[in-house]
């Protein structure tokens, strides 16, 4: 008798994570450093991005260009993205210099890399759908570069409808899935200890 797919999924996910690791109430002492905060700060910025994106999506480009309230939400979305990348780059540098792929954390590192690359693509399509001269300028300048490496065969920066759907539907979905996967791996494997750490406790496997 073959094992049911629900059993396989349960064994590969829920049964792999200790409840103490999933929602811990303590961390090793070396986690008491600001450098560990920037991953969570990145997530907080992502929440603001998604929330302000919902508002912009529901009202449309004319609103965010002509209304003062629309300008406000447009700016909230823009600056949340700026902070998102600032926090993510500090997080990335911190993890790079800690060699955060140590201790069987290779998948955590790789999913983090794909979060970064997916976020770049999402931000770029965001520039393309502003609906003003800036987005037209960026689209016409970028098309030649993307065409020169073959990307133009499946992604045309001048196709604003394609850019819009990529930005508000496909790419946020893909980035969201990878972010959740990344967090599950962090919780499952614990926070990477510093290179010279002797202490192993809590989630720091």
Partner 1 sequence: MVPLAISLDGPAKFITFGFISVSVPNLIMIGLIIVFFILALVIPFPTHKSDGK
Binding site for partner 1 (CB under 8 A): 29, 32-35, 37-38, 82, 86, 89-90, 93-94
Distance separating alpha carbons of residues 133 and 135, to the nearest angstrom: 5
Least distance CB 125 / partner 1 (angstroms): 19
Least distance CB 86 / partner 1 (angstroms): 5
Residue closer to partner 1, measured from CB, 166 or 191? 191
In which region does residue 131 sit, left (phi positive, over 0), alpha (psi from -120 to 50) or beta (all else)? Answer: left
Residue closer to partner 1, measured from CB, 38 or 64? 38
How many C-beta atoms lie closer than 10 Å to residue 39's C-beta?
20
Residue closer to partner 1, measured from CB, 86 or 165? 86
Residue in 112, 205, 125 with CA at minimum distance from that of residue 169: 125
How many C-beta atoms lie closer than 10 Å to residue 25's C-beta?
6
Residue closer to partner 1, measured from CB, 77 or 188? 77
CA distances from 3 to 8, 15, 17, 137 (A): 7, 16, 21, 56
Q: Is residue 97 within 8 Å of 132, Cβ to Cβ?
A: no
Residue closer to partner 1, measured from CB, 20 or 33? 33
Which residue matches tokens 């972010």?
179
């Amino acid at each position: 008798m073959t094992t049911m797919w629900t059993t396989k999924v349960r064994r590969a996910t829920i049964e792999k994570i200790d409840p103490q690791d999933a929602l811990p109430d303590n961390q090793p002492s070396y986690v008491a450093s600001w450098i560990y905060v920037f991953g969570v700060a990145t997530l907080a910025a992502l929440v603001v991005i998604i929330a302000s994106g919902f508002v912009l999506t529901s009202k449309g480009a004319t609103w965010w260009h002509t209304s003062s309230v629309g300008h406000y939400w447009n700016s909230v979305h823009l600056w949340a993205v700026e902070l998102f990348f600032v926090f993510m780059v500090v997080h990335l540098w911190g993890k790079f210099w800690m060699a955060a792929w140590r201790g069987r954390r290779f998948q955590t590192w790789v999913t983090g890399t794909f979060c970064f690359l997916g976020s770049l693509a999402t931000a770029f399509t965001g520039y393309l759908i502003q609906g003003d001269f800036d987005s037209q300028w960026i689209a016409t300048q970028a098309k030649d570069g993307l065409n020169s490496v073959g990307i133009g065969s499946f992604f045309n920066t001048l196709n604003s409808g394609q850019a819009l759907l990529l930005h508000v539907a496909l790419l946020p979905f893909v980035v969201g899935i990878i972010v959740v996967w990344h967090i599950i791996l962090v919780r499952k494997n614990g926070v990477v200890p510093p290179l010279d750490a002797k202490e192993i406790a809590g989630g720091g496997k």
